[in-house]
Amino acid sequence: MKKVGIIGGSGYVAGELIRCLIHHPQLKIDFIYSHSQAGEKVSSIHDDLFTSELVLTDKVNLETDIIFLCLGHGHSKSFLEKYQFNEHTKIVDLSNDFRLQNDATFLGKSFTYGLVEFQKEKIKQSNYIANPGCFATTIQLALLPLAKAKLLNNEVHVNAITGATGAGKQTSSTSHFSWRNNNISTYKVFSHQHLGEIGETIESLQQKKTEVSFIPMRGDFTRGIFATVYTKCNWSEKKLIELFKSYYQDAVFTKVSTHKIHLKQVVNTNFCLLQIEKINDKVVITSVIDNLLKGAAGQAIQNANLMFGFDEQAGLNFKASYF
């Protein structure tokens, strides 16, 4: 068993991490750090974990085997400056502090971008992982095969809608029930923070920059991301589907469907489900994930499994919450 520390225990992502790790066959929670709520039972913060006896603490074990940083964007660096972990301690950061190439080296630690379907073998050899963003995961998984085949020669258009949990646990004017219910809106049009990591990944495969025009949307549901991605392409639908199936043939959590897909197929799972269509001169890819699992906590555990040489699916075998 490897010992796990969770840094920042009160948010939605931390709650999902705890839920997954409680049943993980080879990872055991060592401590859950929270400066503001030390001494509180986890069940008092995450009431879906009402059977848990775990307690939040303000003490950090610097010798633990792996830590998951579930802090707000910009806070992981300051935490690692304050706490110098043992050199054998692996780190998975779930913020955006280390995702971009210019930020990937910090205090002598080199962070690997943790999109498994992009660079699985490199992740296996890494000790420090920058977990991808949720929108970035959904969109990149729709584009990786096209980029590798050098087919992204025109502007890429993306429209993607996320559930309310994508905004985090702290309430805001656009996340409380009376505003969100029966409502929909756009935000950060063409300027979302995940565009940077998407661009770097695509450029590394395509070997040139590709313009991605992304319209993010807030949905009136709890969790999940539904994205439609399209660009001009002269390949046939059959050939494109074969390309995607070949690229993802060894991916345990990314699957290609030949039928219309919908969000409920992946909610509460670590899967990404893709559907490819050719409409006139454009390829249209639909990509769906659970933002809290494949888009955050689940992908973080998937990365940890690879770093330790465990079964990639350990702790992540969930059926979708379909009904």
Rg (CA), the chain: 19
pLDDT of residue 170: 67
Q: CA 231 to CA 144: how far, in whole Å? A: 13
CATH 3.30.360.10 placement within the chain: 134-289
Q: SS3 sequence, the chain?
A: CEEEEEECCCCHHHHHHHHHHHCCCCEEEEEEECCCCCCCEHHHHCHHHCCCCCECECCCCCCCCEEEECCCCCCHHHHHHHCCCCCCCEEEECCCCCCCHHHCEECCEECEECCHHHHHHHHHCCCEEECCCHHHHHHHHHHHHHHHCCCCCCCEEEEEEECHHHHCCCCCCCCCHHHHCCCCEECCCCCCCCHHHHHHHHHHHHCCCCCEEEEEEECCCCCCEEEEEEEECCCCHHHHHHHHHHHCCCCCCEEEECCCCCHHHCCCCCCEEEEEEEECCEEEEEEEECCCCCCCHHHHHHHHHHHHCCCCCCCCCCCCCCC
Contact (CB, 8 A) for 288 and 262 = yes
pLDDT of residue 258: 93
Contact (CB, 8 A) for 156 and 143 = yes
Give the pLDDT confidence of 167-191 residue by residue, as tens digits. 676 667 787 788 889 999 999 999 9
Residue 267 burial (10 A CB sphere; 0-12, 13-18, 19+): buried
Average pLDDT on 34-48 reads 90
* Confidence label for 73 from pLDDT (cuts 50, 70 and 90): confident
CATH 3.40.50.720 placement within the chain: 2-131+296-308
Q: CA 194 to CA 245: how far, in whole Å? A: 26
First to last CA, the chain: 35
* Confidence label for 166 from pLDDT (cuts 50, 70 and 90): confident
Angle between helices 134-148 and 195-206 (to 10 degrees): 10
Give the pLDDT confidence of 148-159 residue by residue, as tens digits. 999 999 999 999
CATH of domain 2-131+296-308: 3.40.50.720
Contact (CB, 8 A) for 36 and 52 = no
Chosen CATH of 134-289 out of 3.90.550.10, 3.40.50.920, 3.30.465.10, 3.30.360.10: 3.30.360.10
Q: CA 223 to CA 219: how far, in whole Å? A: 9
Active site residues: 134
pTM of the full structure: 0.96
* pLDDT > 70 in the chain, percent: 99
Average pLDDT on 77-99 reads 96
pLDDT of residue 176: 78
* Confidence label for 40 from pLDDT (cuts 50, 70 and 90): very high
